[in-house]
Amino acid sequence: MPGCGWLLELCAGQEGELSPRESLAATRARTIRVLSGLKALYPDAHCELDFRNPYELTAATILSAQCTDVRVNLVTPELFRRWPDPYAMAQAQQEDVEAVIRSTGFFRNKAKNLIGMAQAVVANHNGEIPRTMEELRPIPGIGRKTANCVLGNAYGLSEGITVDTHVIRLSHLLRLSRESDPEKLEQSLMKLVSREDWAMVSHLLIWHGRRVCIANRPKCGECGIAGLCPSAGTV
């Protein structure tokens, strides 16, 4: 299995223990060096979903589940032209929304979540996307990942780390965490990264995962942080 050599080491050792074991302090120090390297490689790293306000980012992030940002960005101009704010989306017909977002996949459930999100925002938050995790999480279609994305990118609030498949995969390859559950992995990364970098760390890992450390075909020979990666040359 490409990229899983260290996981096999883990399975061969005691449950929950990496072999060889690295102290939290050592992992934190290496994480700082990894982030420094990624910041140098990607000084312009940012959320690659197109949005102009918190509502648009919330909707785009809902659409991004199991879909590329490129595809979402092709769909959202028409979506926001027809339903430019939560008040308009709350009145939308599901079949109309489905027709616009069909190419993003899972379009029925996504349309339901978009309309449910808008209705909840209108009914409970005066049409404004909330600014706290506690208020965001009960809204349809908004899990912790979406909430972190909105808080960090629309409001500049560092409440957590957005964890997607790239973040999980690179965290494993770099041995920053052995957790596979997104929320547990997020908590482990939050112990390694300074709060001011919580929003940025996901962008850096995602940009590197899309451009160099590509799933199933990583460009280890072109990787600027290969010297800090225990998996370099083995994937």
- pLDDT per position as a tens digit, 214-227: 998 999 999 999 99
| Angle subtended at Cα 214 by Cα 178 and Cα 207, rounded to the nearest 5 degrees | 85
**Same domain as 143, residue 100:** yes
**Same domain as 204, residue 118:** no
**CA-derived radius of gyration, the chain:** 19
DSSP letter, residue 21:
-
pLDDT at 189 over 60: yes
Q: How many CB atoms lie within 10 A of CB 191?
A: 11
We report the CATH number of the domain holding residue 203 as: 1.10.1670
* Residues contacting residue 17 through CB under 8 Å, at least 6 positions apart: 10
* Residues contacting residue 177 through CB under 8 Å, at least 6 positions apart: 171, 185, 188, 189, 192
Q: How confident is the model at residue 20, as a pLDDT?
A: 52
Read off the pTM: 0.86
Q: Active-site positions? A: 145, 164
Please state, for a pLDDT cut of 70, what percent of the chain lies above it: 91
Q: How confident is the model at residue 235, as a pLDDT?
A: 61
Is 35 within the bounds of a domain? Answer: yes
Q: Into how many domains does the chain fold?
A: 2
Amino acid at 79: L
The range of the structural domain enclosing residue 120 comes to: 54-154
| Residue 141 φ/ψ, nearest 5 degrees | 85, -5
